Amino acid sequence: MRIGIIGYQGSFEEHYLQLKRAFDKLSLNGEIVQIKIPKDLKEIDGVIIPGGESTTIGLVAKRLGVLDDLKDKISSGLPVLGTCAGAIMLAKEVSDAKVGKTSQPLIGTMDINIIRNYYGRQRESFEANVDLSKIGMGRARFVFIRAPAITKTFGRAKSLAELNGITVLAQEDGMLATTFHPELSDTTVIHEYFLHIVKG
């Protein structure tokens, strides 16, 4: 199994380490590769779009020719885990809590509406326990940093976990979006769940 991680900014190393741990826990043979240019997308079985600044990630991916190829692959069924900014990249509908509608480069393949900076800026970052019983994983504590909110799921997308009535984990087929940072947690449950999706 070969998993790619978009490597422009965000928590590449942290995702890498969590994936390694998840591979070990599930007794899977896995390879992890960094994705920066289109040829890096070849022969991967799944991809992670980490946190960071979603507009920057989108602009760099577009400039380097990765954005359209990635969109095509995901549309064709490539499993993807988008965390925080990565979740924003996947959403079909994006707005900002302060400035409203945004016009940023997106992958836009997932039937979710996201509001960026929903909880506020950096100083409003927090930790919270999330109930993952819908995916059979119990409760886990996660970090929310300048977190967005999934305010609507429609079409084929479904909410898998909520915090105070707001969706923080959603799935549509092979697409998984989290508004928190699972790579900064003590638990690998989200990465394990994603690997189960990739395995099919």
Give catalytic status of residue 191 as yes or no. no
Q: What is the mean pLDDT of each run of 10 residues along the chain (200 residues)?
A: 91 94 96 96 96 88 94 97 96 80 84 91 83 94 94 97 96 98 96 97
Tell me, what's the pLDDT at 119?
A: 86
Tell me, what's the pLDDT at 53?
A: 85
As a whole number of angstroms, the longest Cα–Cα distance in the chain is: 46
Distance CA 5, CA 66 (A): 12
Tell me, what's the pLDDT at 104?
A: 82
Tell me, what's the pLDDT at 34?
A: 96
**Catalytic pick among 14, 15, 172, 183:** 183
Give catalytic status of residue 181 as yes or no. yes
Tell me, what's the pLDDT at 96?
A: 82
pTM for this prediction: 0.94
Structural tokens at position 141: 């504590």
Annotated binding site: 52-54, 116, 145-146
Write down all domains in the chain, each with its CATH number in brackets.
2-199 (3.40.50.880)
Cross-strand partners of 125: none
Annotated binding site for L-glutamine: 52-54, 116, 145-146
Give catalytic status of residue 196 as yes or no. no
Query: What radius of gyration do the chain's Cα atoms show?
Result: 15
Tell me, what's the pLDDT at 52?
A: 85
Structural tokens at position 101: 């509608």
